[in-house]
Chain A
């Protein structure tokens, strides 16, 4: 497989559930990101990892917990979410954290619905 792969593509969870989103990149990139896209809003940066170290947490509530066990894998652990957390969650990677003009490679996203 090539590119950035996210699983699952769709997820419905109750407010008391615990679930995890998975992201895997096969590009040899050293930086990985979680973004959230809510309806009618711009993409919002949640977390940045560079060489498996979290370098930015963009004021995200603690019910979202990222994990980066190696430079190819990124997880987003979810627990006690709220209905307003329903959104498209996008994973992305870039060669380094210095994004510059090369931008990111995005996965297809996980459409999360909290009921």
Chain B
């Protein structure tokens, strides 16, 4: 049972435009949601997170929105730059049960930003 899902395997955007990456989850006990970015041959790097008690968190060009009633979050990148081209993973922490130290990840979305 996959508790965190990224239903779009890929997204292509023009430089300067907005990139919107989406993520859905099923476990209402998650307490934080995080976004990671991964370049080829490198490990994922932390981008931004949001607490489950908030609905928005902003850091420079990156904004994460959380809609708890819909169990949906999204990452907005404005403006998009070619260097943003990478795989983006959504992750969630907490979740109850045997969730000791655990992050639950989505499958990832490949973002390509064209010059």
Contact = CB atoms under 8 A, between A and B. Distances in A.
B95 to A, nearest CB: 11
B23 to A, nearest CB: 11
Nearest to B90: A42
Interface core residue of A94, A100, A101, A106 (most chain B CB under 10 Å): A101
| Interface size class of chain B, counting residues whose CB lies under 8 Å from the partner chain | 20 to 34
Contact of B91 (A55, A94, A103): A103
A103 B43 CA distance: 13
B62 interface: no
B89 interface: yes
A48 B106 contact: no
Which has the most chain A C-beta neighbours within 10 Å: B50, B98, B102?
B102
Contacts of A31: 101
A1 B51 CA distance: 32
B96 to A, nearest CB: 14
A40 B43 contact: no
A41 B103 CA distance: 15
Scoring A41, A45, A90, A94 by chain B CB atoms within 10 A of each residue's CB, the highest score goes to A45
A56 B46 contact: no
Interface in B34-51: 34, 36, 41-46, 49-51
B46 A103 contact: yes
A48 B100 contact: yes
Contact of B51 (A4, A101, A106): A101
Interface in B43-92: 43-46, 49-51, 89, 91
B7 to A, nearest CB: 13
A92 B89 CA distance: 15
A98 interface: yes
Contact of B101 (A9, A33, A42): A33
A48 B102 CA distance: 8
A103 B103 contact: yes
Given A9-B41, A48-B102, A100-B93, 6 more contacts: A50-B101, A55-B101, A92-B43, A101-B32, A102-B46, A103-B36
Interface of B: 2, 4, 31-32, 34, 36, 41-46, 49-51, 89, 91, 93, 98, 100-108
